[in-house]
Amino acid sequence: MIIPAFDIINGQIVRLYQGNYLNQKKYDIDLINVLKEYYFKGVQIVHLVDLDGAKNIKNRQIELLSKILHSNNIPIQIGGGIRTKKDINELFDAGAKRIVIGSSIINNKNQIKEWLEIYGSDAIVLALDICIDSKNNKKIYINGWKKKTDVILEEIIEYFLPSGLKHVLCTDISKDGTLLGPNIQLYKDIVNSFKTIEFQASGGVGTLKDIISLKKIGIKSVIIGRSLLEKKFTIEEALKCWQNES
């Protein structure tokens, strides 16, 4: 599945380079109109990140997110500073399809297990941002990639498997925003290790060949942000490419 991604700061679509708020590029697009177009072109789900909420939970753009959710028919998964059950309920009430959880995965593991059981495995996506060290350990980073942890990707997935974990969005942060191609070996390894997980690959997709490579190794979904925003290829081309590579 192709999942177009949009990051929002103060109501505007932006892309951060390597997660750096000081290195952002703004895009002059009307998101609501774009989502309507995407719906008619066959997009099945969209990924939204509230970067204001991610930076400071008090600045969550809930009114804007609610407006976006109520203005289109595409299911949307939303992330950005989600810390509490109240945050989750607020977004579900606004019309979100799935909630994407990031830093809380490490900081509040028991709480995440509870959420998986309460809301169901299809409603929660765990976003695991990793950087691979010299020993090939997939170390998880949190707090907008500012804090490195000693937690390994495989360990955290194993921990949540008994709670029904299904959706994992994995980003190699060294690739994000670069358009230099995804880390194929990373995704090949985790797809082979966890057959029941529906992985969403994120970071580095710059060409249609990247999409083909990811589908061939068994990735269920590809998150695409900058490539679509900068017209490296069209959404129609991406969808056709994914459908033809069966």
Residue 227 near residue 235, CB atoms below 8 Å: no
* CATH number of the domain bearing residue 82: 3.20.20.70
Indicate which residue of 129, 172, 176, 210 is catalytic: 129
As a whole number of angstroms, the distance between CA 180 and CA 157 comes to 27
Mark whether 133 is an active-site residue.
no
Cα dihedral value 17, 91, 85, 149, nearest 10: -10
Residue ranges making up the domain that contains 116: 2-244
Residue 133: which residues within 8 A CB-CB, separation 6 or more?
A: 139
Name the pLDDT band for 178 (thresholds 50, 70, 90). Answer: confident
Cα dihedral value 176, 181, 183, 187, nearest 10: 100
**Which amino acid is located at 7 in the chain?**
D
pTM of the predicted model as reported, rounded to 2 decimal places: 0.94
Average pLDDT for residues 43-55, to the nearest whole number?
Answer: 92
Provide the percentage of residues in the chain whose pLDDT is more than 90. Answer: 72
pLDDT digits (tens, 9 = 90+) for 65-96: 999 999 989 999 999 989 899 999 999 999 99
As a whole number of angstroms, the distance between CA 97 and CA 4 comes to 15
Mark whether 189 is an active-site residue.
no
Cβ-count burial 34-49 (b if 16+ within 10 Å, e if not): bbeebeeeebebbbbb
Name the pLDDT band for 158 (thresholds 50, 70, 90). Answer: very high
HEC per residue, 37-69: HHHHHCCCCEEEEEHHHHHCHHHCCHHHHHHHH
Q: CA-based angle 189:192:196, to the nearest 5?
A: 125
Give the chain's domain count: 1
Ranking 52-56, 111-115, 138-142, 202-206 by mean pLDDT, the lowest is 52-56
